[in-house]
Amino acid sequence: MLGVTTQEIQTDRFDSVRQLQRQWGGVCLLKGLGSLVCHDSAGRQEVALCTEGNPGMASGGMGDVLSGLVGALLAQGLAAPAALRLAVCLHGEAADLAAAQDGERGLLATDLLPHVRHLINKR
């Protein structure tokens, strides 16, 4: 999307997510170790860092679970930046709990669902 290599993006992930947001607008997510969410707030770019998550998340369906969480939070009335930030951290924390329970290897997207439910209903 930026016309550069993955290595160039990894060199400065914060700058990369800012460039994505400038180029495409809206709220942008750069997934990976330390996922980054960037949006424009009154002419100023804000970048949020999510430290939750683990390498076991590099499996099929994880992005589908994340996009479902984003959609569900948007449907409940959260603004796009808040919905994406919450969904990314919720997704990562659920994956960390699932990995703590059964290990990172073989982690499936569906393994996150009981943990998501528990986390979202915490008071």
CA distance 94 to 122: 13
Q: What is the pTM of this model?
A: 0.91
Residues 6+ apart with CB under 8 A from 29: 17, 35, 36, 37, 84, 88
The structure tokens 């804000």 sit at 46
Q: How confident is the model at residue 66 (pLDDT cuts 50, 70, 90)?
A: very high
Hey, where are the domains in the chain? 1-51, 53-123
Residues 6+ apart with CB under 8 A from 106: 56
What is the tens place of the pLDDT at every residue in 17-57?
A: 999 999 999 999 999 989 999 999 999 999 999 999 999 99
Contact 106, 53 (CB under 8 A): no
